[in-house]
Structure 1
Amino acid sequence: MNKKSTCLFQPISIGNVEIKNRIGMAPMSVFGMVSADGCFTQRGIDYYVERAKGGAGLIITGYSEIENEVEVSLSGIVQNPSVNPPRFICTAGEMTERVHTYGAKIFLQITLGLGRVGYEPWISCKPIAPSAIPNFWNPQETCREISLEEIQFLIKKSGEAAKIAKLAGFDGVEIHAVHEGYLLDQFALAMFNKRGDKYGGDLRGRLALSTEIVQQIKGVVGQEFPVIMRFSVKSFIKDWNKGGLPGETFIEKGRDVDEGLEAAKILQEAGYDALDADCGTYEGFYWAHPPGYQKHGCYLPFVERLKEVVKIPILMAGRMEIPALAEKALSEGKIDMVLLGRGLLAEPFWPVKVRSNQIEKIRPCLGCHDGCLGRQDLCRPLSCAVNPACGREVEYALHPPLQQKKVLIIGGGVAGLEAARVSALRGHQVSMYEKTNQLGGHLTEASVPDFKEDERRLIDWYKNELDELGIPIYLGEEVSAELIEAKKPEVIIVATGSTSRIPQIQGVDQDHVLTACEALLDQEKVGDPVVVIGGGLVGCEVALWLRRQNKNVTIVEITEELMWAGDVPYANKQMLHDLLEWHNVKIMTGTTVAEISLNRVEIIDRSFQKDEIPAATVILATGYQPDRQLYEKIKDLIPETYLIGDARKVRNIMWAIWDAYEIARSI
């Protein structure tokens, strides 16, 4: 990419605020970086400053509540300038000062509330909504209809929050949101808004609250202070609590694109200075938070039409972290600014690396949600699966060791690769041994399906990083006690990964029975029809991959639901489940495989009823077990010997990388 001609680095103005380039940080909630009184903690400050340092022209914060009376939430979850305004100005003021030092601008996102998507871990009141409609998480609970007095209170508090933001040094505010089905979006959607007053009725009536908010803010802080709107062009609601997939034909129950275009014109007329556009609601959560199953640039076909009807700038995220894609969207005039969310969590220096033509050094986002959105569901601090320092930039910064050591890494999977990278960056003398002829470990087979291209990019990124660090890598060579004695390392990091767990099923040792790894690495061995034993993440992804090849696939899962373990983030689980259903993968839960025979599988359900399923190939997706054989042999040879990744405990990519980073940053 020619850094002199790229559109990414041309300035742009939002209102009267000039931004140095067209790369922004998309708004994401910063769980774990908020004080009890709703202010940014030092971690939160460092987190945003790091992205400004990395070259982003605009930072949009995660949402801040404007009040805690109409919708009562628990303290310390999200920012709230209304709880302790002087303290908020103090902490946020330090942050805006530091962000401005790097030439970046920063907007505070403020929210009117969650409404029908509020749930117990966050709120301590009955969920509210424009009308008495079902709560998203518990459809048996009816939300309380918000009153006119409460609406006026929210409008007033919006102006007060914007005033506090301006005093704290923010360059503008973003309104959260006619987007994703939050409270303001619920007012905008006829499906949720049944009001008979001026805040209901036709589209203009349903947008009256959004209109009055921007007028209130401009009246309080002045016309020059930019106010932008987080805005979904299309809702992707197929029915209550049911989203629509990419390419699926369905009747839109929420906002279709035509209504979205009309809404955009009304919002521009009302005085909004830009639209931060995307798609989706909680019904289609995988649109607002696109997993790896969504294409990069998934919003472009919908958002680009906004340029035909409004003149204000259009900002857009949606897996836009591929530099060529971002550049193309800008150069073709489809959008005015690229926003990166998880892409800047994985790689804070994305803008700097693009501008210096170091594309191969950009650490890829996997779209996994394990380190970001998934941790929110667990009430854990925000971070990133592939970048453990995200959200703890100062504490997890790498420093040279007091003493350089000889570090031997055993295993070239993702844990070993990260341990080698971090150890070498800190200045240790590192060597790596991998008994197979390639690097990547289980990530190699996991990256085979077409929807796992980012995993392939991660392997390539590690290879490039280790090559630039000059780390000697010995492929096809097993480590022994004799080799350790000869090399005399001072530190050994064992990352030997895991092996497939083979269930005790009669007939499991036949040639047409494959592990998921074997099937992924040798597709020619997979016949038709296929029975996949195990409905966890691996089994479901393998089933989808094979079904897309027109094979007849059945998943047999012993528990009552797919991906039951709870370690798959909501957006990913929801989309994968919907994809399996849409592609007609047969799912048999609460079912056990009793015997595998040639061309068939015998099953037993919860009622002890037996049945048979045709099966030319049976694939075992029954989990993995740690491979500790080598560790047990060598663990006492060197005092400083560590066991990391799957070899320590089988989990996911995030935990393998985090294990490695924690050990390697400390030796």
Structure 2
Amino acid sequence: MYQYLTSPLDYGGLTLKNRVIFAPTTLGLPPETQLERLRAIAAGGCAMIIVGDVPVGKGGFGPSLYHRKGFDWFRRLADAVHEEGCMLCAQLHQSDADWKAMVRHLPGLMTGRISKSQLRTLLNEAVGPYITGLPARKVREITRSFGPAAALARQAGFDMVQVHGDRMCGSFSSSLFNHRTDGYGGGPEERVRFAVEAVEAVRACAPDLPIDYKLAVRLEAPHYGNAGVTEEELPVFVPLLEAAGVTSFHVTLADHGDLSDTIPPAAHPAFGGEGCFLPLCDRVRALTDKPICGVGGLTDPDFIEAQLRTGRIQCAAMSRQLIADPNWPNKVLGKNTEAIRRCVRCNRACLGGMLAHRGVSCIYERNEL
């Protein structure tokens, strides 16, 4: 019944046992709790887990590939998911946050004059000046750093890397943020340069490592997302990224807007439906024959099977659904879909938990149904 969902796939040179991927997610959990969460998702039958926001530099939040403690944690995670027959991908990213701007706003946040949502808006507004003002020498240092980070990820046991096309890649790609006048700014051919150099650095340091690219697409009329590229710019970006070494594309909506747009609830006016971001995959599909992973409110195995059957996507990425029910893939494989605990896309304990700094969980776990 689910021939495509349960079948193996060559995903850019990496053989996946089925078509279900755990999408990169900022879980906000203590390291040991996060390891057990991801182990459970691996045991539930998904083919690959993408670990979100693995920093390419020596700083940043969370475990670092450059520090012994962080490297060892990644090594333990790789061993744990591999024991469950699951692959592991490191989402390599560079933050585009202007930390000096954050420091300036901290007094207002601490006194309550600025709310957390207002702080996010203020930091998003600071991205453009920060990106535009970075010295070219510093930009080249950052793009080169993706290479050593990829090599370390391979040593830690990762099977693939994903270059995060949002964050700094996405901000350099965006005409809304990038107002540079050098070789990293201007038209789309210049704005793609940061991402291309990052991919090339990975390919140079880890020539046999498959490279997924999180392709963040911005929509206009109506406007959603601020980073990333417009649909009209995709014919420039996709071929150049592919030529640089990208072996697959993970297509989604661009960030740096409202979090409820990129993590949309069921009541969202534009993205409330199943597979809400798949129309973006259609635009990319016309430009490449590389495998495409779709994401966005995917919960229904019948719907996903139909998208795979038509070739609209080759893989389905889920986050909230696999948090709600880590055994979703095994239940599909065992033809026990009536037992699936469906994500209702309420965003109460997942996005709500992240915003409240208590970590991502689910209403099923918290008995909030």
Relative to the length of structure 2, the TM-score reads 0.86
Counterpart CA distance in 1 for 2:261 and 2:255 is 7
Match in the other structure for 2:151 = 163
Match in the other structure for 2:347 = 369
Runs of 5+ in structure 2 lacking a partner?
107-118
Q: CA shift at 1:274, angstroms?
A: 0.7
| Amino acid in the other structure paired with 1:262 | V
* Contact 1:31 1:379 survives alignment (8 Å): yes
Q: CA shift at 1:21, angstroms?
A: 0.7
Match in the other structure for 2:318 = 340
* Contact 1:117 1:136 survives alignment (8 Å): no
| Amino acid in the other structure paired with 2:247 | D
CA deviation vs aligned residue, 1:496-548 (integer Å, no higher than 9, x gap): xxxxxxxxxxxxxxxxxxxxxxxxxxxxxxxxxxxxxxxxxxxxxxxxxxxxx
CA deviation vs aligned residue, 1:74-126 (integer Å, no higher than 9, x gap): xxx433323x1x222212111111211222111011111133699749x99xx
Counterpart CA distance in 1 for 2:299 and 2:182 is 43
Q: CA shift at 1:51, angstroms?
A: 0.9
Percent identity, aligned pairs only? 23
Query: Is residue 107 from structure 1 mapped to residue 89 from structure 2 by the alignment?
Result: yes
Query: Is residue 217 from structure 1 mapped to residue 202 from structure 2 by the alignment?
Result: yes
Query: Is residue 88 from structure 1 mapped to residue 70 from structure 2 by the alignment?
Result: yes
Query: Which entry has the higher C-alpha Rg, 1 or 2?
Result: 1
* Contact 2:353 2:359 survives alignment (8 Å): yes
Counterpart CA distance in 2 for 1:97 and 1:215 is 28
- Name which of 132, 145, 150 aligns with 2:138: 150
CA change 1:119–1:352 in 2 (3 A) is farther
SS at match of 1:150: helix
Q: CA shift at 1:220, angstroms?
A: 1.1
Match in the other structure for 2:53 = 63
- Name which of 34, 39, 52 aligns with 1:49: 39
CA deviation vs aligned residue, 1:290-315 (integer Å, no higher than 9, x gap): 21121111112221232221011101
Counterpart CA distance in 2 for 1:119 and 1:92 is 31
Counterpart CA distance in 1 for 2:37 and 2:365 is 12
* Contact 1:280 1:286 survives alignment (8 Å): no
Query: Is residue 17 from structure 1 mapped to residue 14 from structure 2 by the alignment?
Result: yes
Match in the other structure for 2:294 = 316
- Name which of 190, 213, 231 aligns with 1:205: 190
* Mapping for residues 174-193 of structure 1, pairs under 5 Å: 174-177=162-165, 179=166, 182-193=167-178
| Amino acid in the other structure paired with 1:165 | A
SS at match of 2:5: helix
- Name which of 239, 263, 268 aligns with 1:289: 263
When the two chains are superposed, the root-mean-square deviation of aligned CA atoms in Å is 2.7
| Amino acid in the other structure paired with 1:59 | I
* Contact 2:22 2:317 survives alignment (8 Å): yes
| Amino acid in the other structure paired with 1:89 | F
Q: CA shift at 1:254, angstroms?
A: 7.2
Kindly tell me the number of residue pairs found equivalent between the two proteins. 349
Q: CA shift at 1:67, angstroms?
A: 2.3
Counterpart CA distance in 1 for 2:34 and 2:144 is 27
* Contact 1:191 1:254 survives alignment (8 Å): no
CA deviation vs aligned residue, 1:623-649 (integer Å, no higher than 9, x gap): xxxxxxxxxxxxxxxxxxxxxxxxxxx
Match in the other structure for 1:229 = 213
CA deviation vs aligned residue, 1:436-468 (integer Å, no higher than 9, x gap): xxxxxxxxxxxxxxxxxxxxxxxxxxxxxxxxx
* Contact 1:108 1:173 survives alignment (8 Å): yes
Counterpart CA distance in 1 for 2:204 and 2:40 is 33
Query: Is residue 326 from structure 1 mapped to residue 326 from structure 2 by the alignment?
Result: no
* Contact 1:319 1:340 survives alignment (8 Å): yes
| Amino acid in the other structure paired with 1:87 | K
| Amino acid in the other structure paired with 1:347 | D
Counterpart CA distance in 1 for 2:28 and 2:221 is 27
Q: CA shift at 1:258, angstroms?
A: 2.4
CA change 1:189–1:342 in 2 (3 A) is same
* Contact 2:179 2:185 survives alignment (8 Å): yes
Query: Is residue 357 from structure 1 mapped to residue 335 from structure 2 by the alignment?
Result: yes
* Contact 2:278 2:295 survives alignment (8 Å): no
| Amino acid in the other structure paired with 1:97 | D
Counterpart CA distance in 2 for 1:236 and 1:384 is 32
Relative to the length of structure 1, the TM-score reads 0.49
* Contact 2:172 2:192 survives alignment (8 Å): yes
Counterpart CA distance in 2 for 1:354 and 1:286 is 28
Which deviates further from its counterpart, 107-116 or 21-30?
Answer: 107-116
* Contact 1:347 1:387 survives alignment (8 Å): no
| Amino acid in the other structure paired with 1:30 | L
SS at match of 1:30: coil
CA change 1:320–1:261 in 2 (3 A) is farther
SS at match of 1:282: coil
Q: CA shift at 1:275, angstroms?
A: 0.7
Higher helix share: 2
CA deviation vs aligned residue, 1:579-627 (integer Å, no higher than 9, x gap): xxxxxxxxxxxxxxxxxxxxxxxxxxxxxxxxxxxxxxxxxxxxxxxxx
Query: Is residue 269 from structure 1 mapped to residue 243 from structure 2 by the alignment?
Result: yes
Counterpart CA distance in 1 for 2:89 and 2:34 is 15
SS at match of 2:52: coil
Q: Which has the higher contact order (CA 8 A, sep 6+)?
A: 2
Counterpart CA distance in 2 for 1:162 and 1:380 is 30
* Contact 2:266 2:273 survives alignment (8 Å): yes
Counterpart CA distance in 2 for 1:343 and 1:256 is 28
Match in the other structure for 2:232 = 258
SS at match of 2:229: coil
* Mapping for residues 591-602 of structure 1, pairs under 5 Å: none
Match in the other structure for 2:361 = 383
* Contact 2:235 2:287 survives alignment (8 Å): yes
Match in the other structure for 2:62 = 78
* Contact 2:56 2:145 survives alignment (8 Å): yes
Query: Is residue 29 from structure 1 mapped to residue 26 from structure 2 by the alignment?
Result: yes
CA change 1:117–1:230 in 2 (3 A) is farther
Runs of 5+ in structure 1 lacking a partner?
34-40, 125-133, 246-251, 389-417, 419-655, 658-667
- Name which of 54, 75, 79 aligns with 1:97: 79
CA change 1:26–1:354 in 2 (3 A) is same
CA change 1:283–1:139 in 2 (3 A) is closer
Which deviates further from its counterpart, 156-165 or 201-210?
Answer: 156-165
* Contact 2:144 2:197 survives alignment (8 Å): no
Q: CA shift at 1:353, angstroms?
A: 0.5
Query: Is residue 7 from structure 1 mapped to residue 1 from structure 2 by the alignment?
Result: no
Q: CA shift at 1:139, angstroms?
A: 7.4
